[in-house]
Amino acid sequence: MPGGSPDDGGTVVLGERELAIGFRLIGMKDVVEVTPETAGHEFQKAMTSGRFSLVVASQSVRKSLTDAQRSAAEASLTPLVVFVPGPSGEYEVESVEALAKRVLGVTLAMPK
Protein backbone atom coordinates (compact mmCIF):
# COMPACT_ATOMS: atom_id res chain seq x y z
CA MET A 1 0.00 0.00 0.00
CA PRO A 2 1.86 3.08 -1.19
CA GLY A 3 1.89 6.51 0.38
CA GLY A 4 0.98 7.76 3.81
CA SER A 5 2.75 7.62 7.15
CA PRO A 6 1.70 6.72 10.69
CA ASP A 7 1.19 10.41 11.45
CA ASP A 8 -1.13 11.30 8.58
CA GLY A 9 -4.10 9.15 9.61
CA GLY A 10 -4.83 8.38 5.99
CA THR A 11 -7.57 6.46 4.26
CA VAL A 12 -7.25 3.15 2.48
CA VAL A 13 -9.82 1.70 0.09
CA LEU A 14 -10.18 -2.06 -0.37
CA GLY A 15 -12.42 -3.40 -3.10
CA GLU A 16 -12.94 -5.11 -6.40
CA ARG A 17 -11.50 -3.74 -9.61
CA GLU A 18 -14.38 -1.37 -10.47
CA LEU A 19 -14.41 0.18 -6.99
CA ALA A 20 -10.63 0.51 -6.96
CA ILE A 21 -10.62 2.24 -10.35
CA GLY A 22 -13.33 4.66 -9.23
CA PHE A 23 -11.46 5.71 -6.10
CA ARG A 24 -8.19 6.06 -8.02
CA LEU A 25 -9.94 8.30 -10.53
CA ILE A 26 -10.97 10.71 -7.76
CA GLY A 27 -7.37 10.90 -6.55
CA MET A 28 -7.14 8.34 -3.77
CA LYS A 29 -3.61 7.01 -3.48
CA ASP A 30 -4.03 4.11 -1.03
CA VAL A 31 -6.34 1.84 -3.01
CA VAL A 32 -5.96 -1.93 -2.94
CA GLU A 33 -7.72 -4.07 -5.52
CA VAL A 34 -8.75 -7.35 -3.87
CA THR A 35 -10.31 -10.65 -4.83
CA PRO A 36 -12.31 -12.94 -2.54
CA GLU A 37 -9.06 -14.87 -2.01
CA THR A 38 -6.95 -11.83 -1.04
CA ALA A 39 -9.55 -9.69 0.76
CA GLY A 40 -8.99 -11.08 4.26
CA HIS A 41 -5.22 -10.75 4.08
CA GLU A 42 -5.31 -7.21 2.67
CA PHE A 43 -7.93 -6.18 5.25
CA GLN A 44 -5.73 -7.49 8.07
CA LYS A 45 -2.72 -5.61 6.70
CA ALA A 46 -4.71 -2.36 6.57
CA MET A 47 -6.08 -2.83 10.08
CA THR A 48 -2.72 -3.56 11.69
CA SER A 49 -0.40 -1.26 9.72
CA GLY A 50 -0.99 1.75 11.96
CA ARG A 51 -1.02 3.96 8.86
CA PHE A 52 -4.74 4.51 8.48
CA SER A 53 -7.48 6.18 10.46
CA LEU A 54 -10.16 5.09 7.97
CA VAL A 55 -10.61 1.82 6.09
CA VAL A 56 -13.21 1.95 3.32
CA ALA A 57 -14.06 -1.53 2.08
CA SER A 58 -16.68 -2.91 -0.25
CA GLN A 59 -19.41 -5.28 0.89
CA SER A 60 -17.68 -8.06 -1.02
CA VAL A 61 -14.65 -7.60 1.24
CA ARG A 62 -16.91 -7.83 4.30
CA LYS A 63 -18.31 -11.13 3.04
CA SER A 64 -14.79 -12.52 2.60
CA LEU A 65 -13.71 -11.74 6.17
CA THR A 66 -13.60 -14.27 8.97
CA ASP A 67 -16.02 -13.84 11.88
CA ALA A 68 -13.11 -12.55 13.99
CA GLN A 69 -12.18 -9.97 11.35
CA ARG A 70 -15.81 -8.81 11.03
CA SER A 71 -16.03 -8.45 14.81
CA ALA A 72 -12.78 -6.48 14.86
CA ALA A 73 -14.08 -4.20 12.10
CA GLU A 74 -17.32 -3.53 13.96
CA ALA A 75 -15.50 -2.79 17.23
CA SER A 76 -12.68 -0.71 15.77
CA LEU A 77 -12.54 3.04 16.18
CA THR A 78 -8.95 3.44 15.00
CA PRO A 79 -9.04 2.74 12.22
CA LEU A 80 -12.72 3.29 11.66
CA VAL A 81 -14.06 0.76 9.15
CA VAL A 82 -16.82 1.70 6.72
CA PHE A 83 -18.30 -0.77 4.25
CA VAL A 84 -19.68 0.64 1.01
CA PRO A 85 -21.73 -0.94 -1.78
CA GLY A 86 -19.73 -2.64 -4.49
CA PRO A 87 -20.48 -2.47 -8.19
CA SER A 88 -23.41 -4.87 -7.74
CA GLY A 89 -25.08 -2.30 -5.47
CA GLU A 90 -25.64 -4.89 -2.75
CA TYR A 91 -25.42 -3.33 0.71
CA GLU A 92 -26.20 -4.21 4.30
CA VAL A 93 -27.39 -1.11 6.14
CA GLU A 94 -26.06 -0.48 9.64
CA SER A 95 -28.71 1.01 11.90
CA VAL A 96 -28.18 4.45 13.43
CA GLU A 97 -28.24 2.83 16.86
CA ALA A 98 -25.51 0.35 15.93
CA LEU A 99 -23.40 3.09 14.31
CA ALA A 100 -23.71 5.34 17.40
CA LYS A 101 -22.75 2.47 19.67
CA ARG A 102 -19.75 1.56 17.54
CA VAL A 103 -18.43 5.06 16.81
CA LEU A 104 -19.49 7.05 19.86
CA GLY A 105 -19.79 4.29 22.43
CA VAL A 106 -23.30 5.39 23.40
CA THR A 107 -26.57 3.56 23.29
CA LEU A 108 -29.52 5.42 21.81
CA ALA A 109 -32.78 4.63 23.51
CA MET A 110 -36.22 6.16 23.21
CA PRO A 111 -37.85 7.11 26.54
CA LYS A 112 -40.95 5.09 27.36
pLDDT, tens digit (0-9, with 9 covering 90-100), for 28-84: 999 999 999 999 999 999 999 999 999 999 999 999 999 999 999 988 889 999 998
Within a domain: residue 1? no
Split into its structural domains, the chain has a count of 1
Residue 97 CB-half CA count within 13 A: 4
Within a domain: residue 48? yes
Within a domain: residue 19? yes
pTM passes above 0.75: no
Q: Which amino acid does the sequence have at 8?
A: D
Domain housing 59 = 10-104
Within a domain: residue 30? yes
The CATH number of whichever domain residue 65 belongs to comes to 3.40.50.10580
Say whether the peptide bond before residue 87 is cis (omega within 30 degrees of 0): no
